[in-house]
Structure 1
């Protein structure tokens, strides 16, 4: 006997085709909605200014100062961030986005960190504007 291949009813094929078209429509809708969101997120990440990056660096350096104080019971003397590298708190010497070292002063428990901006000199406007962060560090009791 000769077997004939089984055939699916036409309604089943139409149903499968409809499912496939629906899936394609959903995919295009998702790409249409999420595509611009991805572009916006990518734009916001790639378009940080150097001043924004310096502010972020200063925030991270604040954490390094607090860790140093927790480990040693004191703040580093004002001057060079190499003290934090020597203590193992920073892996490398931190420099600002203009490739200048960050500066800091210590007054009691208060630390002021700053960058002099693009020109490397105090003051200025625009790209030359200074970026600073001041914070207090809780020192452990002695």
Structure 2
């Protein structure tokens, strides 16, 4: 009579070796992937700022002025309170309400902008603070200093 043999399996040592190898690979690849995520957020913010600038320029062409600082970017999606501007408003100029920046903060809008621009649209970057470098740098058409 034959005794059935034990089913083949992995030993604890083999499992630990595999886990160490996976950990080493993750430690080498992980930082590269996360740096790509940060740079892609910067690119998304730059693209959104350009789209918002285009919407402000379209508003300016149709209404005859840029949005006031009090109206902000919300006027690109909702008609202005001013009756004269409301009569010329042909919006909405955005498909949906003004998006948040990739870090979850609202885009900033101010009048005037830097270097002779009539307005500023910008994100404060990853840190949400004025200034900064790298991922924390302000992105967009900035206000005067």
Band of TM-score, shorter chain:
0.5 to 0.7
Question: Is the strand fraction higher in 1 or 2?
Answer: 1
Q: Residue 22 of structure 1 corresponds to which residue in structure 2?
A: none
Q: Residue 105 of structure 2 corresponds to which residue in structure 1?
A: 100
TM-score normalised by L of structure 1: 0.55
Q: Residue 49 of structure 1 corresponds to which residue in structure 2?
A: 40
Task: Find the partner of 2:93 among 67, 86, 89.
Answer: 89
Whether the 8 Å CA contact 1:81–1:94 is kept in 2: the answer is no
Task: Find the partner of 1:127 among 119, 130, 135.
Answer: 135
Q: Residue 122 of structure 2 corresponds to which residue in structure 1?
A: 114
Per-residue CA distance 1:61-114 (angstroms, 9 max, x = gap):
111001111121111012531121113112212211111111111228611111
Specify the structure having the higher radius of gyration (Cα).
Answer: 1
SS in 1 for 2:46: helix
Task: Find the partner of 2:50 among 37, 56, 59.
Answer: 59
Alignment of 1:1-40 (within 5 A): none
Q: For residues 117 and 109 of structure 1, do their structure 2 counterparts lie closer, same or farther at Cα, with a shift above 3 Å needed? A: closer
TM-score normalised by L of structure 2: 0.54
Per-residue CA distance 1:41-69 (angstroms, 9 max, x = gap):
xxxxx865211111111111111001111
> Would you say how many aligned residue pairs link Structure 1 and Structure 2?
89
Between 94-103 and 46-55, the greater mean CA deviation after superposition: 46-55
Between 55-64 and 124-133, the greater mean CA deviation after superposition: 124-133
Structure 2 spans left out of the alignment, 5+ residues:
1-35, 80-91
SS in 1 for 2:53: helix
Q: Residue 17 of structure 2 corresponds to which residue in structure 1?
A: none
Structure 1 spans left out of the alignment, 5+ residues:
1-45, 135-142
Q: Residue 19 of structure 1 corresponds to which residue in structure 2?
A: none
